[in-house]
Amino acid sequence: MKIIFSWFTINNKPDHLKLGLLFLLTLFAGLIFSHALQSISIALLVANTLFNKYVRENISEYFNDRVLLILSLFFITFLVSGIYSEDQKYWLQKVNVRLAFILIPVGMIALRNMTHKTFQWLLYFFMWMIVASSTAVLVNYIEHYDQINGMYSAGQTMETPYSHVRFSLMVCFSLFIGWYLYQGDFQPLFRGEKYLTLIATVFLIVFLHVMAVRSGLLAFYLCAIFLLLRYVFLFRKWKQGFLAMLLLMLLPFVAYNFFPSVKTKFQYMKYDLDQYFSFNQVAGLSDATRLLSMKNGIEIWKENIWIGVGAGDVKNEALKKYADPEIKTASKLPHNQIVWELASVGFIGFALFWFASLFPLFYNRNYTDPLFVCLHIILFSSYLTEATIDDSNGNGLYLIFLILIYFQLRKKKG
Please state the domain extents for the chain: 116-280
pLDDT given at position 3: 46
| Alpha-helix residue ranges (DSSP H) falling in 144-213 | 145-152, 164-183, 193-211
pLDDT given at position 282: 63
DSSP 312: T
The answer to whether residue 7 scores a pLDDT higher than 70 is no
User: Which of 118-127, 295-304, 312-321, 397-406 shows the lowest per-residue confidence on average (mean pLDDT)?
Assistant: 312-321
At 240, the pLDDT band (50, 70, 90 cuts) reads confident
Q: Give backbone dihedrals phi and psi of 385, rounded to 5 degrees, phi first.
A: -125, -5
Q: Mean pLDDT over all residues of the chain?
A: 89
d(CA 289, CA 291): 5
Residues 350-393: pLDDT tens digits? 999 999 999 999 999 999 999 999 999 999 999 998 889 999 99
Beta strands in 219-363 (DSSP E): none
User: Which of 290-299, 373-382, 402-411 shows the lowest per-residue confidence on average (mean pLDDT)?
Assistant: 290-299
Q: Closest Cα to residue 105, out of 70, 54, 57, 56?
A: 70
Residues 218-234: pLDDT tens digits? 999 999 999 999 988 88
Residues 56-102: pLDDT tens digits? 999 999 999 999 999 999 999 999 999 999 999 999 999 999 999 99
pLDDT given at position 228: 93
At 1, the pLDDT band (50, 70, 90 cuts) reads very low
Across the range 193-200, mean pLDDT stands at 94
DSSP 10: E
Across the range 145-151, mean pLDDT stands at 85
pLDDT given at position 263: 84
Across the range 263-275, mean pLDDT stands at 76
Report yes or no on whether pTM surpasses 0.85: yes
pLDDT given at position 261: 85
Question: What is the torsional sign of CA 360, 362, 367, 368?
Answer: negative
pLDDT given at position 265: 83
Question: Which amino acid, 230?
Answer: R
pLDDT given at position 156: 77
